[in-house]
A and B are shown apart, each in its own frame.
Chain A
Amino acid sequence: MNKAGERLWNGLVKENPTFVLMLGMCPTLAVTTSAVNGLGMGMTTLVVLALSNLMISAMRKIIPNSVRIPAFIVIIASFVTIVQLLLEAYLDSLNDALGVYIPLIVVNCIILGRAESYAYSNPPIPSLFDGIGMGLGFTVALTCIGGVRELLGAGELFGRRVMPESFTPIGIFVLAPGAFFVLAGLSALQNVAKAAGAKKGKDVSKIGSGCSEDCLNCGQKGCSRRLVEFGAQDPEKASAQTLGETDAKSSGKAEPQTVRGTDIRSLGKVDSNILEKADQSDVQEIPDIQILDWTSTAKEKKK
């Protein structure tokens, strides 16, 4: 269950969807006019995110790769419909306040992003906790933004007057520009906090998620899908990496022509070698990337 805790921490702090990943900006900017609205939106998204992550992860082996996005959308849309009907039945005032942004959760990029980058390649339980962590991170972020905007823009917090009577509400903060100001300010604050943490020696730069697109620093085992895509999407980068590795192994006897063809299977092998090494040494070392000097090797061959 350590994994679950790590997922929660990841969603709340390390990769907070709003302040770090900057995902789901549309509801973030639009509905956070008050703390209650932010909280409501966050909780609604949390429920959909957790359930859709669980469902997608459970179905990940039967969803064909080529139609995975439509499949995700269908699953997410089902949960959103359920949540919306429940809101209409039991929390009508919140439903009115959030309006069109409830159905729009279907296309929320946090949900689609977590489905694509985590749930589709990980088992159900970690995926569920990934969804809950991300949802909590989103909820906390939206509540904070909504709270600050409500405090400055109306002098209230959760509908109660907290500022002194002499305070004149700064109207711009409940309008759209105020959302940008507050979002930028809070993101800057959390960056400052993380920078302070990094100075003390805590390593906050290493991202521990399933996929950060940073394959060299990634110790995730069993992530075969990513390796394939890695080879297919960015053959130059991949071949440079493989070249570096084979070069280090065979001390300059690499044959560039065959490696350059980016054999996906061999890529997977080499990359898993790196990963195993990293696991053994407990420290994720980045293998030196050496770019082969094509002309010199060719000359050496001739000799």
Chain B
Amino acid sequence: MSDLRKISSNPHIRSRSTISGIMAAVVIALMPATGFGIWHFGPRALMLIAISIASTVGTEFLYGLLMKKTTVGDLSAVVTGLLLALNLPVSVPWWIPVLGGVFAILVVKMLFGGLGQNFMNPALAARCFLLISFPALMTDFSYDGISGATPLAALKAGESVNVMDMILGHTAGTIGETSMVALAVGACFLLLCGVIDLKIPGSYIVTFLLFEAIFGGHGFDPAYLAAQLSGGGLMLGAFFMATDYVTRPITSGGQYLFGIFLGLMTGIFRIFGPGAEGVSYAIILGNLLVPLMEKVTWPKAFGKGGKRHEK
């Protein structure tokens, strides 16, 4: 309590939550998905996750040494590394997470001024960087010697998929995205902790489902909608990456707008795009539009706006 009682300039109301506390909560919330990924894909997934985190934290540490400023302690690099690894297929070579980690921290985050200044989610930017650079490696979802298409690709090709497997996570995909149940457990933890709220994920998912129902060609078919919802990175993106404090709008209205935009873009990419997945591109596109969304939803201060009083 004593360190909260200070004679100082404003702001006078201070929150007890710290950056490292929030980041630790996100890491804990990602644990179920991480654990399931390691169990499902084997020890290679653990190795990739470890390499990715080491890469991001190491880059942040070295850059901090160069700039004589230590920012490793806020755990944000750990979250970035973990999210990056969860977005990689298990079959990628070891240097992919290294390259992605360096790109995420150095180019996307640190060169723009560090945490709080990055205009784009570092983990997703790194994933898109890798996806554009190495399309063959990044879309090779084979595991256990089975080279299978992701359920979303199968769905797009018109094949039938086992929705129950998709919800539980026994499918091909990136390390962290397959199990909807594990992700939902983590998301509930974050919601209960108050780290995130339902504004962005809720509007994102509702808009996406409506879009899929209208333009997906299957109408309101529950099995199809459930498959779209649980397949791909939608849950991971909606709850863990679109809600990133730095790259989401800070106004309440802006957050709804952001969610709706993401839902529309994801739907467009999935239905009309050449690929089966579109969550990561949708989110980084949304990140770029955040300043505009904040501008149109900026609340008026008391006494501002309205008609001028004529004398």
Which residues on A are within 8 Å of B, measured CB to CB?
Answer: 168, 170-173, 175, 177, 181
| B132 x A172 contact (CB < 8 A) | yes
Measured CB to CB, the nearest residue on chain B to A171 is B133
CA of A175 to CA of B135 in the docked complex: distance in angstroms? Answer: 13
- 16 A-B residue pairings within 8 Å (CB atoms): A168-B134, A168-B137, A170-B99, A170-B133, A170-B134, A171-B132, A171-B133, A171-B134, A171-B135, A172-B129, A172-B132, A172-B133, A173-B133, A175-B132, A177-B132, A181-B107
Q: Which chain A residues lie closer than 8 Å to B133 at the CB level?
A: 170-173
Write the nearest CB–CB distance from B258 to chain A, whole angstroms.
Answer: 23
Which residues on B are within 8 Å of A, measured CB to CB?
Answer: 99, 107, 129, 132-135, 137
Write the nearest CB–CB distance from A171 to chain B, whole angstroms.
Answer: 4
CA of A181 to CA of B99 in the docked complex: distance in angstroms? Answer: 15
Write the nearest CB–CB distance from A188 to chain B, whole angstroms.
Answer: 9
Chain B interface, DSSP helix/strand/loop, else mixed: helix
CA of A241 to CA of B133 in the docked complex: distance in angstroms? Answer: 54
Measured CB to CB, the nearest residue on chain A to B135 is A171
Q: Which chain B residues lie closer than 8 Å to A177 at the CB level?
A: 132
CA of A171 to CA of B137 in the docked complex: distance in angstroms? Answer: 12
Those 8 A-B pairs whose CB atoms lie nearest each other, nearest first: A172-B133, A171-B133, A170-B133, A172-B132, A172-B129, A171-B132, A175-B132, A171-B134
CA of A168 to CA of B133 in the docked complex: distance in angstroms? Answer: 10
Q: Which chain A residues lie closer than 8 Å to B137 at the CB level?
A: 168
Measured CB to CB, the nearest residue on chain A to B129 is A172
Measured CB to CB, the nearest residue on chain B to A153 is B133
Q: Which chain A residues lie closer than 8 Å to B107 at the CB level?
A: 181
CA of A274 to CA of B134 in the docked complex: distance in angstroms? Answer: 60
Q: Which chain A residues lie closer than 8 Å to B135 at the CB level?
A: 171
Measured CB to CB, the nearest residue on chain A to B107 is A181
Measured CB to CB, the nearest residue on chain B to A152 is B133
CA of A123 to CA of B269 in the docked complex: distance in angstroms? Answer: 58
CA of A190 to CA of B133 in the docked complex: distance in angstroms? Answer: 26
Q: Which chain B residues lie closer than 8 Å to A172 at the CB level?
A: 129, 132-133
Q: Which chain B residues lie closer than 8 Å to A168 at the CB level?
A: 134, 137
Q: Which chain B residues lie closer than 8 Å to A171 at the CB level?
A: 132-135
Measured CB to CB, the nearest residue on chain A to B93 is A168
Write the nearest CB–CB distance from A282 to chain B, whole angstroms.
Answer: 40
CA of A177 to CA of B103 in the docked complex: distance in angstroms? Answer: 13
Measured CB to CB, the nearest residue on chain B to A175 is B132
Write the nearest CB–CB distance from A55 to chain B, whole angstroms.
Answer: 43
Q: Which chain B residues lie closer than 8 Å to A175 at the CB level?
A: 132
CA of A171 to CA of B132 in the docked complex: distance in angstroms? Answer: 7
Measured CB to CB, the nearest residue on chain B to A174 is B133
Query: Given known contacts A170-B133, A171-B135, A172-B129, what 7 new A-B pairs fall within 8 Å (CB)?
Result: A168-B134, A168-B137, A171-B132, A171-B133, A172-B132, A173-B133, A177-B132
Write the nearest CB–CB distance from A152 to chain B, whole angstroms.
Answer: 9
CA of A83 to CA of B107 in the docked complex: distance in angstroms? Answer: 40
CA of A170 to CA of B99 in the docked complex: distance in angstroms? Answer: 10
Q: Which chain B residues lie closer than 8 Å to A181 at the CB level?
A: 107
Write the nearest CB–CB distance from A192 to chain B, whole angstroms.
Answer: 13
Write the nearest CB–CB distance from A161 to chain B, whole angstroms.
Answer: 18
CA of A171 to CA of B99 in the docked complex: distance in angstroms? Answer: 13
Write the nearest CB–CB distance from A266 to chain B, whole angstroms.
Answer: 45
CA of A181 to CA of B137 in the docked complex: distance in angstroms? Answer: 22
Write the nearest CB–CB distance from A191 to chain B, whole angstroms.
Answer: 13
Write the nearest CB–CB distance from A163 to chain B, whole angstroms.
Answer: 14
CA of A260 to CA of B107 in the docked complex: distance in angstroms? Answer: 50
Scoring A168, A177, A181 by chain B CB atoms within 10 A of each residue's CB, the highest score goes to: A168
Measured CB to CB, the nearest residue on chain B to A177 is B132
CA of A213 to CA of B107 in the docked complex: distance in angstroms? Answer: 34
CA of A168 to CA of B134 in the docked complex: distance in angstroms? Answer: 8
Scoring A170, A175, A181 by chain B CB atoms within 10 A of each residue's CB, the highest score goes to: A170
Measured CB to CB, the nearest residue on chain A to B95 is A168
Q: Which chain A residues lie closer than 8 Å to B129 at the CB level?
A: 172
Q: Which chain A residues lie closer than 8 Å to B134 at the CB level?
A: 168, 170-171
Write the nearest CB–CB distance from B130 to chain A, whole angstroms.
Answer: 9
Write the nearest CB–CB distance from B132 to chain A, whole angstroms.
Answer: 5
Write the nearest CB–CB distance from B281 to chain A, whole angstroms.
Answer: 13
CA of A171 to CA of B139 in the docked complex: distance in angstroms? Answer: 14
Write the nearest CB–CB distance from B37 to chain A, whole angstroms.
Answer: 24
CA of A173 to CA of B132 in the docked complex: distance in angstroms? Answer: 10
Write the nearest CB–CB distance from B124 to chain A, whole angstroms.
Answer: 14
CA of A175 to CA of B128 in the docked complex: distance in angstroms? Answer: 13
Scoring B107, B133, B134, B137 by chain A CB atoms within 10 A of each residue's CB, the highest score goes to: B133
CA of A181 to CA of B125 in the docked complex: distance in angstroms? Answer: 13
Measured CB to CB, the nearest residue on chain B to A173 is B133
Q: Which chain B residues lie closer than 8 Å to A173 at the CB level?
A: 133
CA of A177 to CA of B281 in the docked complex: distance in angstroms? Answer: 14
CA of A173 to CA of B129 in the docked complex: distance in angstroms? Answer: 10
Write the nearest CB–CB distance from B15 to chain A, whole angstroms.
Answer: 36
CA of A213 to CA of B137 in the docked complex: distance in angstroms? Answer: 51
Write the nearest CB–CB distance from B284 to chain A, whole angstroms.
Answer: 12
CA of A290 to CA of B134 in the docked complex: distance in angstroms? Answer: 61
CA of A177 to CA of B99 in the docked complex: distance in angstroms? Answer: 16
Measured CB to CB, the nearest residue on chain B to A169 is B133
Measured CB to CB, the nearest residue on chain A to B132 is A172
Write the nearest CB–CB distance from B264 to chain A, whole angstroms.
Answer: 24
